[in-house]
Amino acid sequence: MTDQNENNIEGFLLVNKPTGLPSYYCIKKIKHLLEIKTKIGHAGTLDAFATGLLIVAIGRAATRHISQIMELDKWYTATGKLGQLTDTLDFTGSLIEDEETDITSEQIKKAIAELGNQYRQVPPIYSALKYKGRSLSELARQEKLPQEELEKITQKKARVVNIYSCELLSLDLPYFTIEAHVSQGTYIRILLDDIAKKCGTHATTHGLNRSKIGPFSVTDATDLNDFKSLEVVQQQLIPIDKILKIVETYSMP
């Protein structure tokens, strides 16, 4: 088992991220509690407005396995506003259009079915994807590249994503809520808008929660606000070998 004394803290934390905070803030807060200089990272960014599971790796040995955890499938619950479009595809962005719609649940279910279990998804301009060492989101906000150039970059970074399941949970116009089980790299903001596009309109994300990453659930995570001391970090730290065993078992055919 990994030594977890104050001078050698290595392992993983399951963190429940609150809304309004970027993922790097969670890392910064936990790193401050460690009181020692050590490598720390997370296995998959959540937008600042989003909530839910963030897996944090502490120590060089743990961070080596971040990519392995990032490859796991994800579960999300997301709410979109039909007829609305912003530049970021979420409610924090600048409004482009906002129109009334009379879309039905049958239309949304049909759109979900038409997307299928696998499709080519173009990532959003406002994302953590890197271009020449800088995130596209940073380049867009600082207007370092023209819009047309950013759109060309996202087209080149398009990827095929797997939609293992996608269910309409509710429709209360203009809002609709889905639960989606997807592969690594799927953008839920894009998924909501792609569903809306098939209904002849757009959708802007107003709520997003990541409930699971592979076998790990937000129900087993600790609220970020509860990490108030080094002792709490040590209590919640999951050894590297235990995490890897869980991942190995989950990934077995």
What phi and psi values does residue 233 have, to the nearest 5 degrees?
-60, -45
Sign of CA dihedral 41, 47, 48, 50: negative
Torsion angle in degrees (nearest 10) through CA of 26, 27, 28, 32:
110
| Spatial contact of 182 and 210, defined as CB atoms under 8 Å apart | no
Q: Where are the alpha helices (DSSP H) in 66-219?
A: 66-70, 105-115, 136-141, 147-156, 188-197
| Spatial contact of 115 and 160, defined as CB atoms under 8 Å apart | no
Active site positions, annotated = 47
Residue 71 CB-density burial (10 A; 0-12 exposed, 13-18 middle, 19+ buried): middle
List the one residue out of 214, 68, 185 whose CA is nearest residue 121: 185
Q: What H or E segment, with its residue span, contains residue 165?
A: strand 159-172
